[in-house]
Chains A and B, each alone.
Chain A
Amino acid sequence: MISKFFQRAALAAAALAATMGGAVAVDISGAGATFPYPIYAKWADAYKKETGAGLNYQSIGSGGGIKQIKARTVTFGASDQPLKSEDLEAAGLTQWPQVIGGIVPVINLDGINSGDIVFDGPTLAQIFLGEIKSWDDAALKKLNPKAKLPSQAIAVVHRSDGSGTTFNFTNYLSKVSADWKSKVGENTAVEWPTGIGAKGNEGVAANVANTKGSIGYVEYAYAKQNKLTFTKLINKEGKTVAPTTPSFQAAAAVADWAHAGGFYQILTDQPGAQSWPITAATFILLPKQPPDSAAAAEALKFFGWAFANGGKAAEELDYIPLPAAVVTLIKKSWAANLKDASGKPLVN
C-alpha cells in the first residue's frame, strides 16, 4: 500500500517537474495603458497556448508604463499617448502603434437612438466648455433639424483620472476649437470647465447610463458593451461619419506613418471622407538596446504574432488591427532600431 502511494507521489512529482520545465520559456513583462489591457490579455492567453511563453502585463496606466520602461524595470511599456521623437531619443526608446481604437461621444436622452444625433467639432467643444447648456440649444437644433431635442440641462461627464482617452479627446477638441485650445488645452488630465468626473472608461459609461441628459466620451468598445447611445460626428472633410471599424481604419490608413519620427502620430481629425475624427492608436515602448535582449526578442515575437494572428481577437473586442502597410513599416523599424548588446539587430 504505502510503497504504491510513494510510487504515485514520485510519478506525480516527476510529471509536475516536466510540465514546469516546459514552461520555462522566457516570460515577458510589460506595464502601461489600461485601454488596450483586454486585448493584450486575450492575445497573451492565446499566445501562451500556442508557444508556452507567458506575458505578464500590468495595466497601471500610460504614465506609469512610461516611468517603468524608462527605469527598465519591465521588458516593454505601453502608452496611449505617444512620446515625441526627441523624448524617445533622450530615453533611448523606440515606439510603434500596436492597435487602434475609436473614441465616441455617448449620450443619454429619452427617445434618441444611436446615430440619431450629429455633432461637429466646435459644437462638441462648446458643450464640454459649458457654453452650450441645454439640449435644445440653437446650435444643436441646427445640426439636428429632425431630432426631437428636449429642453433639458446637459450633464457633461468626463474622466476624473488621467488617461490616454482624455488625451486623444482633448487633442481633438484643441484641433477643432481655438477656444478649447486656449482655455483648456490637451493632456491626459485637464482642468475641466464643467461637468462630473468619473474614474475609468467604465465609470464614464456607468455615469452616462445613469444620468438623464448626460454626454460623455468613451472608447468604442465600452459604448458597445454597455449599449450606450453614441452619436455621429462631422469630420475634417465635412462628411457625417458613424463610428465603425472601417471609419476607424480609414483614419489610421491616411495618417502619414512613414514620415513620422518614432511613429508619432495622433489620429484625431485626420483627412479623408471616411475617417472617424477621434481615432486613437495605443503604443508600445521598447529600449533600443534592451538590457535583457532575450526577453526583448521574445516580446517582439509576441507582437509580431499579434500583428499576424491577433486581428480577429482584436475585432471581437472592438479594437481595430493596424492596416497591413503600417505593419510593414513597423517591422522595418524593428530591424533598423532594435539592437542587442553586441549591436546586432534583434530581428531581421
Chain B
Amino acid sequence: MASGLDDHRKGAVVSDMVSDAARPPVAEIERSRILARFAVFDFCFRNLTRAAAIAVLVILGGVILSLVYGSLPAIRAYGFGFLTSQAWNPVTDNFGAAAPVYGTVMTSAIAMLVAVPVGIGIAIFLTELCPYPLRRPIGAAIELLAGIPSIIYGIWGLFVLAPFLQQHVEPILIAACGDIPVLSTLFAGPPYGIGVLTAGSILAIMVLPFIASISRDVFETVPPMLKEAAFGIGCTTWEVMRNVVIPHTRVGVLGGVMLGLGRALGETMAVTFVIGNAHKIAGSLLAPGTTISATIANEFTEAVGDLYTSALIELGLILFLITFIVLACARFMLMRVERRSGG
C-alpha cells in the first residue's frame, strides 16, 4: 500500500517534468505509457482492496450460515424453549442454553465491574500523576500482561487463585455477608474456590491491560493546552480528568472497554479452568457455573449424537448474537454521546 502511494507521488513529479519540457513526441509517448501503467496499477490496487473487503463479508456470511445450518436440528427440537431451559442432559437429549448464557453474561459483568474503574485509574495515574522514571516500566508491565496466553491465566487461576480464594477470601465473604439480605444470597457457601466469582476475577485481570493501555494512549492525545487551561483556572487533577480529559476521549475509552468486553465474552480456556463447568444457575456467585465457550470447548469432542452436537452449535450461534448485540449497543451509545455533545 505504501509503495503504491509512493509511485503516485513519483508519477506526479515525473508528469510535471514532462509538461515543463519542450514536449518532444518521444516524451509524449513516454508520458502516456507511464499514465497507462498507473491506471493499470490503480485498477489492480482498487480491486485487490475491494476483494479483501468482500472476503470479510463472505467469511462472516459463511460463519453465520454454517452456524444456522448446524443448529437447525436443535432449533427444530427445542424452539425458543432452548433459551429459557436450564436442562443439560446428554442421557435424555434434553438441552437448554439458560445456564451457559447466564454464566457468560455474569462473568463478563463481574470482569467489567472490576476492570473498567481499575483500568481507567491506571491510565490516569500513568498519564497525569506518575513520576517520569516509573512510566515506562509500568506501561511495559501492562502490555506484557496483555501478551500472556490465556491458558497460563487458567493454570494460574486453578493452582494459585482458586485455593487462595477458597481458604482465605470466600470464608470471610460468606461470614461477613451472612446477615445482609441480598449479599447473603450472592455469597452463599460452601466455598469451593472455583466458580463464577473466580472466573470473573480471572477475566478482570485478563481484560485490564486492554482497557488500561488503550485509555492511556487516548488520554495522551488530549492537547496539553486544554489541560493547562483547566489547571490554570484552578481545577484539581480530578476535575481536569472528569471535565476535560474523559469527555475529550470518551469514544476511545469506550472502544477500549468494548474490546475488553469482547475478550471477556469469548474467553474460553482460562474460564474453563476455574468456573466449575456446572450447567446450573445458582443464586450464589461462589457456586460453579459455566459459559458458552467453556461448554463448547469441554463437550464438543465427545458429543455423540446429532442433537447434542447441534445444541452445542446453537450455543455458538447464541454467543455470536450476544457479541453482535453488545457491539451494536456500543455503537448506538457512541452515536448518542456524539449527538448530545454536538460532535
| Residues in chain A within 8 A of chain B (CB atoms) | 60-64, 66, 153, 155, 160-163, 184-192, 194-199, 203, 206-207, 210-213
Contact = CB atoms under 8 A, between A and B. Distances in A.
B190 to A, nearest CB: 3
B159 interface: yes
B166 interface: yes
A160 B277 contact: yes
B86 to A, nearest CB: 10
Contacts of B298: 160-161, 197, 199
Nearest to B87: A191
Interface string B277-320: 11100000000101000100111011110000000000000000
A161 B190 CA distance: 24
Contact of B194 (A61, A187, A191, A211): A211
B89 A190 contact: yes
Contacts of A161: 298-299, 301-302
A42 B73 CA distance: 41
B246 to A, nearest CB: 41
A186 B299 contact: no
B90 A210 contact: no
B163 interface: yes
B90 A191 contact: yes
Contacts of A188: 90, 302, 304
Closest 9 CB pairs of A and B: A162-B302, A197-B277, A153-B190, A160-B277, A191-B89, A196-B276, A63-B304, A185-B91, A189-B90
Chain B interface size range: 35 or more
A210 B277 contact: no
B38 interface: no
B306 to A, nearest CB: 11
B162 interface: yes
Interface string B256-290: 00000000000000001100111100000000101
B192 A155 contact: yes
A188 B158 CA distance: 25
Contact of B302 (A64, A196, A211): A64
A189 B299 contact: yes
Contacts of A189: 90, 299, 302-303
Contacts of A207: 158, 194
Given A206-B158, A211-B192, A198 B302 contact: no
B302 A61 contact: yes
A199 B301 CA distance: 11
B193 interface: yes
A191 B88 contact: yes
Given A161-B298, A196-B288, A212-B166, 20 more contacts: A60-B301, A63-B304, A153-B190, A155-B192, A160-B272, A160-B294, A160-B299, A187-B90, A187-B91, A189-B90, A189-B303, A191-B91, A196-B194, A196-B277, A196-B278, A197-B298, A210-B162, A211-B166, A212-B167, A213-B190
B276 A199 contact: no
Contacts of A210: 158-159, 162-163, 193
B290 A197 contact: yes
